[in-house]
Structure formats: structure tokens, C-alpha cells
Amino acid sequence: MYRTGIEPPERIWWKKIDRHEKVWVWIAFAWCMVLFAMMPIWHLRGGQNPSGIRHRVEPADYQARVAEFIQEYQVGTDSGFPVVEPPPGSDVYLQATSFSWIPVLRLQQGAEYVLHLSSLDVNHGFNLYPLNINFQVVPGYDYGLRVVPNEPGEFHIICNEFCGIGHHLMVGKIIVEPADAEQGGDR
Amino acid sequence: MSLFRTCPTTGLQVHRTADRLIQANAVAATVALLIGGVAALLVLLTRWEVVLLLDAGMFYRMLTVHGMNMLIFFIIFFEMAVLYFASAVLLNCRVPAPRTGWIAFALMVIGALMVEWTMWTGRADVLFTSYVPLRAHPLFYLGVILFAVGALTVVGHFFGILTIARREKTYKGSMPLVTFGALTAAAIAAVTLLHGAIIYIPTFLWSLGLMEVDPQMYRLIWWGLGHSSQQINVAAMVSIWYLLGALTVGAVVLNEKVSRTAFVLYVLFISMASAHHLLVDPGMGPAWKIWNTSYFMYMAVLASMLHGFTVPAGVELGMRLRGAAQGLFGWLKRAPWGDPGFSSLAFSIVVFGFVGGITGVTFGTEQINIIAHNTLRIPGHFHATVVSGTAMAFMGITYYVIPLIFRREIAFYPLARIQPYLFALGMLIFSMAMTFAGTFGMPRRHWNASFTGAVFQPEFSPAVNLVMGVMAVGGLIAIAGGAIYIVVTVVSVFFGKKMAADDSGLGAEGRGLPPGITHPPRALVEEDRAALGPSGRLGPVPGTMVLVFIFLAAFITYYFVNWALLSFLWEVG
């Protein structure tokens, strides 16, 4: 005897499942296991993971570290922002404040860097446009991500976490130089 | 006047206090929906850059108003009505503490008014999430706390009604599935609102300068409120699915064990979903992220996939039992598509599952979140779940709540019939366009993607701008559907024709009467199984069997396409 969902069933409702319904339960369960397995598998095999090197940091200390970084590797300015070209393999510091990303970075295609993200005031959002790589930038936390730029070009950083009335003005820049141009320069 | 009335349709004894509490909460929900809807229109006409209606400050203010009114006030007031309905009405029970019910309602209204005041006067331009250290007026946080305390009281009251119904034996056997679902929603609500208290009380003190709040800790606990409250919505929505199925076509429950176990899985695992918002945050490591984002190995996703089978299967079996047994999809063809309750149910299931569910699980994958976090893909996802899913189901049930609880006929019925079609179509276009634009990195919560006045100028391709236009058109269609809903419900409740007292029993015909009850399938057939005939290779519900495999194929495709998209990016880790 079937009932609708608004009628009380008999006291004991723990009954055998129809064979066909059971098939769906197990298929759905198997799919859930695939969904779960994909994440550890990607950590082992895939190239894109949000793990990073994560620390707490005092905003003032981070600001000092960024200033030091700019002083060490600055190669010019762009629209009033320092342009910084750190050597491949180095730690790169990006500072988010309302409403700017400092500094402008110049990186080499194919080289690995540790890109540090932190904020001095409120939450900000790191969106590398047009690649669509997104990370949360939280004040008091240093998020160090190993990155390998795989294509040359000019990329923008769009802030995509609401940070105040000038949120839409908060755009930064990363330039990636092609790998062969660098080798040509060396010769 | 007697304290109870006998419902002429169902024969249930309805406590008049339950009637009034349901009515008050439903009216408050509709007012919030109206305010949130006006804000929706303003926000939409701003993001459509051809119009760019509001300035930046007003845009973020209206976005805050939209979020708070829709996600908190509309949804939770409506859920309070659902709790009273699922307990007192369905269980034939009295409301034990009417005064407590009214005090809780008053607390919620006062809290909501405090929040409205701070938002509209520009004292809380912090958006729905109010991430610390963005600062709002202390009354904003206090208002949320009062609202949460009121809601928590109703949840407690609900548990009280269940206990009394059991003790006074107002029903035979076990509680109905719909009540059981509401019980899980209430359990999740208790956990959720507790998170709300844990985070908003320190934040309130912080806003007064009395203590410090860590921004990452805020995000962790706040999302224990923010995301888990969406899980109240899921549990409440699925209960309404079973309810709408029962009322519109006499949908049956295939197996109580499967449906109830699925509800229990929600309670056990769904509050881990706070992690969905922290996958690309610096505060947590990969193990924590994987464990929590998957709700302990996707057990809550399993629950939704079970309901995604059992609800349409119940409808199919209900239709087959009443004679629509031709072929695979004869039951769908003969379903009452002109009944706004049924069309709402169907669209709610389809859009929630195919758009909201699939995108949600995909974006909630630890690594795939890198290409989704804070882009328009996220609001694209949750407008498909919480609007096309939950709000759509809530709208659908209103077409029965008004005749059964308010005892009024639905006014402008032809308009009410097309309302679900407009709303579902609009929301479908809107959320798919949003998701698509987000794939190209279009940020969410952003006044102006032309970056007027910015030092550097990223440019979106004309194709993306076109998609934003499509989004706006979809949004406008949906808002038209929402406006029709408000007009129909308000006119019906205040000016609608009163239902006659005695013309709505078994076999009665009439607008707004639930055909699933007045013409139950069991009245038509003697032996349920025999009427169905021998079931074929696909079992008793072959149509649903085919539909769920189409769903699974779409799910697998979208999921792996996103892994492929991710693999093209810079190496990052």
C-alpha cells in the first residue's frame, strides 16, 4: 500500500528497497566516491592546487617585506606603480590595500616563483584576468603560492572581493616575458 | 469561536493559532520578498552596463539589501511558516505556547527592522557577508542576533509541537515524510543559528570596540551560518517537493527508508559546507578542505541524488496509479501542467538539479574552485539553487497555502498559471548567463566591469558583454514572474473570494483545491501493484530511471570539462 508524504506511515517503515531504486542508490554512491577521489588524485598528479605555504603575518611586517622586495628588484614604474622584476625561483610579494595591488610584477615564462598574497586592511580577491585564477586575500595571513607562468602576455589582477566603494578601481598588473626572449638576451 | 477548525479538504483539525502564525510569517516573508525584489531590479539594471543605473555606493547598498531580504528574511520567515504547517497542521496538533510563538515572531520582526534601518540609511554597506574588518553599525549585528534568537525560538517551539503530538497521539504510526523532512530542516536550523550567534555576538562586541575578531576565523564561522542556512533551505525545499507532489498529483513515497535516510544524511553532514567558501583561503590546509568540502565523502550530495530520484519517481508512480501509464513519459504528458503548484514543482526540481546542483558540486571541488571563487559563476550557481529551487518551491506551495490556510481563492488564476513558467525561464537564462560570464573571470559583487577610472584597464570580450545583456533579459523576465507572484498572493489574501466551507471534500472540483487529495489515486484503483501491471526491465518507474541517467551524464560531463579547463592554467600550488 502506497502513501503520500503527508500521511503518517505505519510505525515500522524500515522496509526492503525495490531492486531498481537500489541500483540508483549504488550508482549515486559510486559517483560520490569518484568525486571524492578526484581531489587527492589531483594533488598527486595535477598542476593546480590551492595548498600554498600559509602563515599568519602582521600587516605591518608584510608591508615592510613588500617595501624591501620592491627596493631590491624595482626596474621602473608604470602609471605611478613600481614595476618589479624578481629573478626566477624567488619569493614574490604582492600587497593588497583598498584600492590597489602593489607592485606591478614582471615574470619569466616557464620559471617558478612563490607568489605571496596578503592584505593590509580588509579582505580582497585575487583574480588573474583573463586566465581566471582566483584566490582569497585575507588580512593577517600570508598565502604563498608556487606559480609557473606558462604563457607570455600582459595580465590584470581584478579585485573580486568587495572591499569598499572604490572596489572597481582596484586593478593590478602582471607582465610575463616570453622564455625565448630571455634566452636571446643572454646570448 | 472554537479554538480549532476542521479542514474541509483533508479532515484535519487545525488549531487557529497555527493558522494565524502561518499567516503572519507568510505575510512577513512576502514583504521581505517585495523589498528584496525591488533591490534585485536596481542591482540588475546596474550590472547591465548599458544602463548602469546606480552609482557605486548605492549599488553596494542595494546589493546588501537584496542579500539580507532574500536570503535571510524572506526565506527564514517562510520556513517558520513551513515549520508550523508541517507540525501543527499535518500532525493534527495544537500549538502549545501561542504567546511564545508571537514573541518569537515579534523578535524576528524587530531584528529585521533594525537591520533594514541600518542598511537603508547607509550604516551597513558591508554586503550580506559583512566580512570583518568591514564595519557596520552595531545595530546591524544586533538586529541579526535578535532575528536569529526569534527563529531559534520557533525551532524550539516546533520540537515542542512534535513532542506533544506524539504524547497526545494526534496521529497514528510514524510522522509523515513531509514532517520528517521539516524536522531535519529544523535540526539544521538549530546548528546554523547557533553558528550565527557564535559569530555575530563577538562581531557585535567588536563593532562596539570591545574585542578583536580574526578575519579568517570570521569567515570560517560566518559561513557556518551563511552556507548552512542554505542547507535549511534544501531540506525545507525537498520537504515541499514531497508536499507539492502529494497535493498536486497524489505522489506516493516509494520507500520511506530511502527518503528518510537521505534526510538524515543532510543533518549529519551538510553543515560542513562552510568549507565551500574557504577553498582558496590561506587559513586552512588541503586535508581540511577536501574533508569538509566533500561533506565527508559527498554524503550530502548522495542525499540530494536520492531525493532527485525519489521525488520524480513518486510523482511518476502517483500518475501511473491514477491511470497515466502509457509508455515511458505518458505520466509527464498527462501531468497537470496548468496547475501552478505542479509546474513550480517540476521546474524547481529540474533547475535545482541540473543547474544548481551540478554547478555547486563542481565549484565546491577543492581545485576547481580556483576557476570559480568570487566570479559570477558563484551567484550563477546559487540563484539556480536558492531561487529557482527553494523560492520556486515556496511560491508553488503558496498556491495551496492560500486556499487551505487563508481560506481564499487564488485571484487572477490565469496569471498565476503562467507565473512559474516566466519565473523559471527567466531564472534559468539568468543563472546560466551568470555562470557562463563567470567562466571568463567576470567578478561577482562588482559595480562596474568597465573599470571606469581605474589605472589599468582589463577588457572583457564583446561576447562576454553580450552574455551580460542576456543575463539582464533573463533577470527582467524572472522579476516579472516575481512581481506577478506578489500581486497574485497579496490580492488573493486580502481581496480574494472566500472559500466555501463545505465544497471541498473528497471528489470536489474547484480552483485551488489540491487534486492529489480530493482525487487520490487510491480512490481509483483497488490494488496498487495490480493496477500498474507487471513492471518492465526499468522497474516500476521507468521514466524517472531514464531521467536520472540523463542527469548523471550531464553531471559527469560538466564536472570533467571543468577539470580540463583547470589543467590549461599556470601551474599553481
Map out the domains of chain B with their CATH numbers.
4-449+458-567 (1.20.210.10)
Strands A171-177 and A153-159: antiparallel
Residue A17 in domain? no
Is residue A16 in some structural domain?
no
Question: In the beta sheet, which residues pair with residue A142?
Answer: A55
Q: Which residues of A touch B563 (CB under 8 A)?
A: 38, 42, 46
Q: Which string of DSSP letters, residue by residue, matches B120-178?
A: HTTS--STTT--TTS---HHHHHHHHHHHHHHHHHHHHHHHHHHHHHHTT-SSSSPPHH
User: What residues 325-384 of chain B have any CB closer than 8 A to a CB of chain A?
Assistant: 361, 365-367, 369-375
B60 and B46 Cβ atoms separated by less than 8 Å: no
All residues of chain A having their beta carbon less than 8 Å from the beta carbon of residue B373 are: 125, 134-136, 160
- Compute the residue count for chain A: 187
First to last CA, chain A: 85
The pLDDT of residue B205 is 95
Q: Are B314 and A5 in contact (CB under 8 A)?
A: yes
Report the pLDDT value the prediction gives residue B560, as an integer from 0 to 100: 98
Q: Three-class SS of residue A28?
A: helix
Integer-rounded Cα Rg, in Å, for chain A is: 25
B402 within 8 A of B486, measured Cβ to Cβ: no
Calculate the CA dihedral of residues B499, B501, B506, B509 and round it to 10 degrees: -30
Residue given cell 546596474 in the structure block:
B46
Nearest CA distance, A60 vs chain B (angstrom): 16
Chain A residue numbers with beta carbons less than 8 Å from the beta carbon of B441 are 127-132, 158
pLDDT surpassing 50 at residue A38: yes
Q: Which grid coordinates are listed for B373?
A: 571563487
- pLDDT (0 to 100) of residue A181: 60
Q: Do A38 and B563 make contact, defined as CB atoms within 8 angstroms?
A: yes
- Structural domain contains residue A151: yes
Per the domain annotation, does A47 fall within a domain? no
Q: Residue B251 and residue A5: Cβ atoms within 8 Å?
A: yes
Beta carbons of B367 and A147 less than 8 Å apart = no
Q: Is B251 on the interface with A (CB under 8 A)?
A: yes
Beta-sheet strands, E only, within chain A: 53-56, 74-78, 81-84, 91-97, 100-102, 104-108, 113-119, 124-129, 133-137, 141-148, 153-159, 171-177
Rounded-to-integer distance, Cα B485 and Cα B402, Å: 12
How many CA atoms within 13 Å lie on the side-chain side of B361?
Answer: 32
Q: How many CB atoms lie under 10 A from the CB of residue A18?
A: 17
Residues 6+ apart with CB under 8 A from B36: B65, B66, B68, B69, B70, B73, B74
Give the H/E segment covering residue B180. Answer: helix B177-207
CA distance B177 to B197: 30
In angstroms, rounded to a whole number, what is the distance separating the alpha carbons of residues B470 and A25?
38
Q: Do B367 and A42 touch (CB under 8 A)?
A: yes
B445 and chain A in contact, CB less than 8 A: yes
Which of B321, B522, B571 comes nearest A48 by C-beta? Answer: B571
Q: How far apart are CA B525 and CA A30, in angstroms?
A: 38
Residue with cell 503558496: B398
Q: Are B493 and B411 in contact (CB under 8 A)?
A: no
Helix (H, G, I), strand (E, B) or coil at B54: coil
**C-alpha separations of A106 from A183, B168, B457, B460 in Å:** 16, 75, 17, 22
Would you state the pLDDT for residue B522?
Answer: 53
Peptide bond preceding A130 in cis form (omega within 30 of 0):
yes
Provide the β-strand partners of residue A177.
A108
Residues facing residue A134 across a β-bridge: A127
Residues of A whose CB is below 8 A from B285: 51, 54
pLDDT, residue B537, reads: 79
Report the gap between the CA of A40 and the closest CA in chain B (Å).
Answer: 8
Q: For strand A81-84 and strand A104-108, is the pairing parallel, antiparallel, or unpaired?
A: parallel
CB A5 within 8 A of CB B177: yes
Question: Computed from CA positions of residues B348, B349, B351, B353, in that sequence, does the dihedral angle turn out positive or negative?
Answer: positive
Q: Hey, are the CB atoms on B559 and A35 less than 8 Å from each other? A: yes
Can you read off the three cell numbers belonging to residue B40? 534585485
Contact: B367, A46; criterion CB under 8 Å: yes
Q: How far is A67 from chain B (nearest CA, A)?
A: 21
Q: Considering only alpha carbons, which residue of chain A is nearest residue B537?
A: A20
> Which DSSP symbol is given to B335?
S
The residue written with cell numbers 588524485 in the block is A41
Chain A to chain B Cβ contacts (< 8 Å): 333
Asked if A134 and B280 come within 8 Å (Cβ–Cβ), the reply is yes
Beta bridge partners of B572: A48, A147
Domain count, chain A: 1
Distance from CA of B107 to the nearest CA of A (A): 30
Pull the grid cell for residue A45. 598528479
Q: Cβ distance A29 to A62 under 8 Å?
A: no
In tens digits, chain B (573 residues) has pLDDT values of: 688 888 888 888 899 999 999 999 999 999 999 999 999 999 999 999 999 999 999 999 999 999 999 999 999 999 999 999 999 999 999 999 999 999 999 999 999 999 999 999 999 999 999 999 999 999 999 999 999 999 999 999 999 999 999 999 999 899 999 999 999 999 999 988 888 888 999 999 999 999 999 999 999 989 988 888 888 999 999 999 999 999 999 899 999 999 999 999 999 887 777 889 999 999 999 999 999 888 887 899 999 999 999 999 999 999 988 888 888 999 999 999 999 999 999 999 999 999 999 999 999 999 999 999 999 999 999 999 999 999 999 999 999 999 888 989 899 999 999 999 999 999 999 999 999 999 999 999 999 888 989 999 999 999 999 999 999 999 999 999 999 999 999 999 999 988 876 666 666 766 667 787 777 665 444 455 555 656 677 888 999 999 999 999 999 999 999 999 999 999 998
Q: Do A10 and B173 touch (CB under 8 A)?
A: yes
B392-404 vs B16-47: helix crossing angle, rounded to 10? 150
* CB atoms closer than 10 angstroms to residue B538: 14
| Alpha carbon of B247: minimum distance to chain A alpha carbons (Å) | 9
Q: Which residue, among A48, A77, A114, A165, would best test binding to B if mutated, counting the most B CBs under 10 Å from its CB?
A: A48
A139 inside domain: yes
Across the interface, whether the CB atoms of A166 and B56 are under 8 A apart is answered yes
Contacts of A138 in chain B (CB under 8 A): 215-216, 219, 281-283
Is B373 strand, coil or helix?
coil
Report residue A70 as a C-alpha cell. Answer: 620592491
Note whether residue A38 is domain-resident. Answer: no
Q: Is B272 on the interface with A (CB under 8 A)?
A: no
Q: For chain B, positions 456-495, list CB contacts with chain A under 8 A.
A: 456-458
B187: number of Cβ within 10 Å = 20
Q: What is the pLDDT of residue B511?
A: 66
Is the distance from CB of A124 to CB of A149 less than 8 angstroms?
no
Q: Please answer yes or no on whether B443 and A159 come within 8 Å at the CB atom.
A: yes
pLDDT in tens, A39-68: 999 999 999 999 999 999 999 999 999 999
pLDDT of A187 over the 50 cut: no
Q: Are B29 and B73 in contact (CB under 8 A)?
A: yes
CATH number of the domain encompassing residue A127: 2.60.40.420
Domain membership flag for residue A105: yes
- The grid coordinates of residue B19 equal 493558522
How much is the pLDDT for A186? 43
Strand order in the sheet with A133-137: A74-78, A81-84, A104-108, A171-177, A153-159, A124-129, A133-137
Question: In A, which residues are within 8 Å of B258 by CB distance?
Answer: 17, 21, 25
- Chain B positions in Cβ-Cβ contact with residue A18 (cut-off 8 Å): 254-255, 539-540
B301 contacts on A by Cβ (under 8 Å): 32, 35
B287–chain A Cβ distance below 8 A for any pair: no
- Residue B310 dihedral angles phi and psi, to the nearest 5°: -70, -35
Task: Give domain status of residue A58, yes or no.
Answer: yes
- Interface touch B243/A42, C-beta < 8 Å: no
Cβ <8 Å between B297 and A1: no
The parent domain of residue A138 ranges over 53-186
pLDDT at A17 over 90: no
Q: What backbone torsions phi and psi does residue B67 show, to the nearest 5 degrees?
A: -60, -50
